[in-house]
């Protein structure tokens, strides 16, 4: 089985990505490390446990991670994910935080990777704070990763949070910088504009969420707010050409699960802008190789949308 560690700030698309991973029989989730991001850390922890409960997988270890960015001012994405991070559709019987592991996220990442050297794929769908702290604790552990998949950054300087910044990178630019600089394992990036350009039709999601299963009902409840918002956000409609829904984090997850999911990509050195009135947090792509960085990342451009649909279908069965 493919061994995954998931680093998440569980909002709506993290939940979708997590359900896709859980549904895949070829995947073993070693642990989920939680990070501040879409919503404050306490909500992220609760939301992660809620998703695991719906999937009957409360056996998967969940770890508490960083509650603030390294340096940046804290921001959340309540507009899309709701104040609670899961569409403001609460579950009165949500599992309690006593289920969390004692070990903290960054230490847990280092330990799990060292114990499974060469076998672990890390999927990061949150601001990269936990990953930055992990590499400070053990500078060598990234060499033992099989691969790193990141949802974050942007390729056309189109922001979704600041003028030029995508949420995960703009929320903790210093952490993104450290990760892009120090994780020299095979690295795959699903940037913001790519997710928009590879969106799935709204009609597909309507059909999907109409399924009569507990998971589909849960997904429908938590996704309502995001879908309404995305259908009316002009800056996003323009780039998706009004076509449909881009479950951002699920692209990184699908690519980590299935090696044939990515159909077009660029190999390029990447970094992130740390200064600039409008550009702080923007991903930088060094196509001219001026930064002389040996390590190149695979930046996703196109994916197999039929495979993507199938993964979503399976996740709600």
Q: Which residues bind ligand BDR (CB under 6 A)?
A: 11, 13-14, 38, 77, 80, 125, 151, 160, 166-168, 192, 248-249
Nearest CB to ligand BDR, comparing residues 55 and 150? 150
Q: Which residue in the list 7, 9, 13, 258 is annotated as catalytic? A: 9
Name the CA radius of gyration of the chain, rounded.
18
Residues in the chain: 317
Q: Which of 28, 256, 259, 26 is nearest to 121 (CA)?
A: 256
Are the CB atoms for 80 and 226 separated by under 8 Å? Answer: yes
Are the CB atoms for 176 and 153 separated by under 8 Å? Answer: yes
**CB of 143 vs ligand BDR, minimal distance in Å:** 26
Nearest CB to ligand BDR, comparing residues 141 and 225? 225
Q: Which of 52, 11, 6 is nearest to 32 (CA)?
A: 6
Q: Is 9 a catalytic residue?
A: yes
Q: Which of 98, 176, 165 is nearest to 130 (CA)?
A: 176
Measured in whole angstroms, the distance separating CA 65 from the mean position of its chain's CA atoms is: 15
Cβ contacts of residue 224 below 8 Å, gap of 6+?
87, 89
**CB of 192 vs ligand BDR, minimal distance in Å:** 5
The Cα 190–Cα 57 span in angstroms is 27
**CB of 9 vs ligand BDR, minimal distance in Å:** 7
**CB of 249 vs ligand BDR, minimal distance in Å:** 5
**CB of 171 vs ligand BDR, minimal distance in Å:** 8
Nearest CB to ligand BDR, comparing residues 248 and 316? 248
Q: Please identify the residue of the shown chain whose CB is closest to the bound ligand BDR.
A: 167
Nearest CB to ligand BDR, comparing residues 188 and 192? 192
DSSP code of residue 260 = T
Nearest CB to ligand BDR, comparing residues 18 and 178? 18
Residues with catalytic function: 9
């Amino acid at each position: 089985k493919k061994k995954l560690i998931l680093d998440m700030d569980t909002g709506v698309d993290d939940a979708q990505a997590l359900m896709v991973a859980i549904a895949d029989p070829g995947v073993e989730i070693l642990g989920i490390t939680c990070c501040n991001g879409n919503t404050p850390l306490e909500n992220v922890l609760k939301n992660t446990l809620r998703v695991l409960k719906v999937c009957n997988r409360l056996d998967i270890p969940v770890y508490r991670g960083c509650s603030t960015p390294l340096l940046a001012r804290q921001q959340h994405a309540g507009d899309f994910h709701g104040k609670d991070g899961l569409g403001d559709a609460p579950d009165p019987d949500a599992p309690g935080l006593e289920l969390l592991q004692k070990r903290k996220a960054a230490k847990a990442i280092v330990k799990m990777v060292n114990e499974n050297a060469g076998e672990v794929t890390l999927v990061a769908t949150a601001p990269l704070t936990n990953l930055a702290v992990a590499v400070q604790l053990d500078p060598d552990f990234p060499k033992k990763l099989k691969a790193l998949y990141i949802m974050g950054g942007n390729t056309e300087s189109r922001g979704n949070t600041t003028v030029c910044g995508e949420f995960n990178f703009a929320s903790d630019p210093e952490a993104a910088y450290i990760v892009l600089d120090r994780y020299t394992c095979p690295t795959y990036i699903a940037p913001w504009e790519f997710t928009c350009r590879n969106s799935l039709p709204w009609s597909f999601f309507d059909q999907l969420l109409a399924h009569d299963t507990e998971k589909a009902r849960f997904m429908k409840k938590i996704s309502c707010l995001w879908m309404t918002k995305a259908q009316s956000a002009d800056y996003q409609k323009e780039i998706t050409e009004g076509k449909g829904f881009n479950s951002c984090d699920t692209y990184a997850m699908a690519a980590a699960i299935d090696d044939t999911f990515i159909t077009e990509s660029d190999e390029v050195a990447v970094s992130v802008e740390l200064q600039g009135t409008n550009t702080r947090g923007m991903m930088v792509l060094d196509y001219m190789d001026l930064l002389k960085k040996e390590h190149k990342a695979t930046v996703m451009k196109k994916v197999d949308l039929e495979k993507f649909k199938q993964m979503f279908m399976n996740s709600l069965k």
